[in-house]
Amino acid sequence: MSRSQHSKTRDLVRAGARGLVGAMAMTGIRTLTGNIGLVEETPPEAIVGKHAPEPVQRLPVEHRTALTEAAHWSYGAFAGLGYNVLPRKIRSTPWFGPVYGLIIWLAFEAVIAPLLAVRPARRRLLGRLIIALDHAVYGIVVAGRLAPDPDAVQPQAERPAAS
């Protein structure tokens, strides 16, 4: 594998891992806020509750919850890959990570939820803000702002020359 191919593969793996970890961070936020009554039903729970096949519906609640989270983490990993294919100039903008997370949430709210008819009947404003916040956190993680690539934090003059 050439150096260029290795670098691209490494970048894709890192992007997918960031997406996975970002989705896991969202799970943590939702677990906390759900346990104190601020978020009643998350979008992944609504989708599984309404559209999962009968064998999934018959699973014990803890297994269905685990399956729901695994699916959400998979979506997060794929969205992390999606972030990685955006132009570097856009990705290097400090505020774009949280914006990317919010775009994902807004796309869900505007397109996917109506298509799947899973829009909660009445979600409180605070619950909606928490869902927006966890998507912004997802974007921060996906953008690598918490653990940037070494290349991203080295001044231009210190970077090794490209071969």
Q: At 68, phi and psi to the nearest 5?
A: -60, -45
CA 133 to chain centre: 12
The stretch 33-42 carries a mean pLDDT of 86
Average pLDDT, the chain: 87
**pTM: predicted TM-score of the whole model, two decimal places:** 0.83
Q: How many residues does the chain have?
A: 163
> In this structure, what token pair is assigned to residue 149?
């690539």
Q: Tokens 């599984």 map to which residue?
A: 48
Residues 6 or more apart whose CB falls under 8 angstroms from that of 12 comprise: 81, 84
- Per residue in 88-140, pLDDT (tens digit) is 999 989 899 999 999 999 999 899 989 998 876 556 788 888 999 999 999 99
Evaluate whether 100 touches 142 at the Cβ level (below 8 Å): yes
Q: pLDDT value at position 161?
A: 56
Q: Is the pLDDT of residue 71 over 90?
A: yes
Half-sphere exposure of residue 151: CA atoms within 13 angstroms, side-chain side: 8
> In this structure, what token pair is assigned to residue 97?
């990570």
Q: Above pLDDT 70, what percent of the chain?
A: 87
